[in-house]
């Protein structure tokens, strides 16, 4: 909650506590990195306390944290202002003075819809080919042996595997693993994909798990690595070799 109206803050704090919510309060703008770190469901703020920076701040927060619920609660406003805010990414706009119970209910409504889409498959083990992913251990295994994934690596793998078969765009991946919007030109996702591929191949060399979709993103789908040609490829002359799939780049083998 970002507001300076101490009466309103106090009342809401009490109700929130009574409802079992965790509420943090600030009297001024909170950098979006800190908002990320707090792992909030939603933020309730009065942009008036930010002065001229209000709109800018709203835009920044909504842009960088598209998954965060944003509720504006402020004094008198024009239709144009409200529309501008809502278009900007604000989820609900309440006018002060407002009944704390209604504010609570609206925060709840926004959070509810936000949660709804979230993947519920949080803690169930996931199996794909030789790979076993155990969210409860933050680790993946191949025939009992750990891949020694770091936290980020694991989250990335978990996300991809959870959306098996679907192409996920870099922005989406970043947004869901890192928790905020990807900066233009950021290559972190690529780097982590490489690390994952390395570790995956080390323990499970005969499978390709992560596929690249050029210009789009990545897709998780275990496939036997048939790169190890069992047949000494004899191709009828005249017939051009079966074009290796042009777009889908199979996880390459680290040939050094």
Partner DNA sequence: CTGACCTGTGAAAGTCCTGTGAAAGCAGGC
Partner DNA sequence: GCCTGCTTTCACAGGACTTTCACAGGTCAG
Please name which of 154, 143, 137, 152 lies closest in space to residue 202, comparing C-alpha atoms: 143
Please state the length of the chain. 256
Is the bond preceding residue 110 a cis peptide, omega within 30 degrees? no
Number of residues that bind DNA (CB under 7 A): 31
User: What is the nearest approach in angstroms of DNA to the Cβ of residue 229?
Assistant: 15
Among 153, 181, 200, 207, binds DNA (CB under 7 A): 153
Question: What is the number of alpha carbons within 13 Å of residue 44 lying toward its C-beta?
Answer: 30
Which of the listed partners (a second copy, DNA, none) does 25 bind, with a CB threshold of 5 to 8 Å by partner kind? none
Question: What is the number of alpha carbons within 13 Å of residue 105 lying toward its C-beta?
Answer: 6
Distance CA 209, CA 193 (A): 11
**Which two structure tokens, joined as six digits, stand for 120?**
């519920």
Instruction: Pick out residues in 160-219 that bind a second copy (CB under 8 A).
Output: 165-167, 172, 176, 213-216, 219
Query: Does 236 participate in binding DNA (rule CB under 7 A)?
Result: no
Site string (1-40) toward DNA, x via CB under 7 A: ----------------------------------------
Distance CA 208, CA 221 (A): 8
Distance CA 134, CA 151 (A): 12
Binding site for DNA (CB under 7 A): 148, 150-153, 170, 178, 183, 186-188, 190-194, 197, 212, 214-217, 244, 246-247, 249, 251-254, 256
- By CB under 8 A, name the binding residues for a second copy: 66-67, 69, 79, 82-83, 86-87, 89-92, 99, 101-102, 104-106, 108-110, 112-119, 121, 136-139, 146, 148-151, 165-167, 172, 176, 213-216, 219, 243, 245-248
């Amino acid at each position: 909650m970002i507001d300076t109206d101490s009466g309103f803050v106090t009342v809401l704090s009490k109700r929130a506590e009574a409802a079992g919510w965790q509420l943090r309060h600030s009297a001024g703008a909170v950098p979006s990195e800190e908002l990320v770190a707090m792992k909030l469901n939603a933020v309730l703020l009065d942009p008036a306390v930010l002065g001229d920076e209000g709109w800018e701040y709203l835009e920044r927060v909504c842009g960088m944290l598209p998954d965060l619920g944003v509720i504006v609660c402020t004094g008198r406003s024009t239709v144009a202002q409200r529309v501008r805010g809502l278009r900007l990414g604000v989820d609900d706009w309440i006018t002060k003075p407002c009944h704390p119970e209604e504010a609570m209910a609206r925060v709840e409504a926004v959070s509810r819809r936000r949660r709804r889409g979230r993947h519920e498959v949080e803690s169930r083990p996931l199996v794909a080919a030789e790979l076993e992913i155990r969210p409860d251990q933050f680790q993946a295994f191949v025939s009992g042996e750990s891949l020694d994934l770091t936290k980020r690596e694991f989250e990335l793998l978990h996300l991809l595997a959870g959306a098996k078969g679907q192409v996920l765009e870099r922005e989406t991946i970043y947004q869901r693993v890192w928790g905020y919007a990807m900066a233009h030109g950021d290559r972190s996702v690529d780097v982590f994909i490489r690390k994952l591929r390395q570790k995956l191949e080390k323990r499970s060399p005969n499978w390709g798990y992560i596929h690249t979709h050029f210009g789009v993103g990545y897709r998780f789908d275990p496939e036997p690595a048939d790169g190890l040609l069992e047949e000494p490829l004899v191709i009828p002359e005249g017939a051009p070799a079966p074009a290796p799939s042009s777009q889908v780049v199979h996880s390459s083998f680290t040939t050094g």
